[in-house]
Amino acid sequence: MSSGRVGYIAFNTFREAVRDRVLYNLIAFAVLLSGAAILVGEISIDIERLVVINLGLTAISLFGVLIAIFIGIGLVSKEIDKRTLYTVLSRPVQRWEFVVGKFFGLTGTLVVNTVFMAIGVFLALLYTAHRFEKMDAWVLVALYFIVLQFFVVCALSLFFSSFSTPIMSAVFSFALFIIGNLADDLRGFARMTHGFGGWLATVIAYLVPNFASMNVISQVAHGDPVSGQLILYNTLYAIFYSAMAISGAVLIFQRRNLK
* CA 58 to chain CA centroid, nearest Å: 12
Of the pair 15, 191, the CB lying nearest other proteins is at: 15
Site for other proteins in 65-84 (CB under 8 A): 82-84
Count of residues in contact with other proteins, rule CB under 8 A: 26
Kindly tell me which residue out of 45, 46, 92, 229 binds other proteins, with binding defined by CB under 8 A. 92
Q: Quick check: 102 binds other proteins (CB under 8 A)?
A: no
Asked if 105 contacts 17 with a C-beta cutoff of 8 angstroms, the reply is: yes
Is residue 191 involved in binding other proteins (CB under 8 A)?
Answer: no
CA nearest 235: which of 245, 224, 243?
A: 243
**Secondary structure (3-state) at 164:** coil
Least spacing, CB of residue 209 vs other proteins, in Å: 30
Residue 193, amino acid: T
Confirm or reject binding of residue 230 to other proteins (CB under 8 A). Answer: no
Choose between 92 and 228: whose C-beta lies nearer to other proteins: 92
Query: Does 257 contact other proteins by CB under 8 A?
Result: yes
Q: Using the rule CB under 8 A, is 184 a contact of other proteins? A: no
Long-range contacts for 195-199 (Cβ within 8 Å, ≥24 apart)? Answer: none
User: Which is nearest to 98 in space by CA: 7, 233, 213, 216?
Assistant: 7
Q: CA–CA separation, 205 vs 139, rounded Å?
A: 28
- Select the residue interacting with other proteins from 3, 15, 133, 203 (CB under 8 A): 15
Is 94 a binding residue for other proteins by CB under 8 A? The answer is: yes
Q: Which of 45, 46, 91, 167 binds other proteins (CB under 8 A)?
A: 91
CA distance 151 to 162: 17
Collapsing DSSP states into helix, strand and coil, what is residue 163?
A: coil
The amino acid at residue 140 is L
- Find the shortest distance in angstroms from Cβ 245 to other proteins: 24
Q: Which chain residues interact with other proteins by CB under 8 A? A: 4-5, 8-9, 12, 15-16, 19-20, 82-94, 255, 257-259
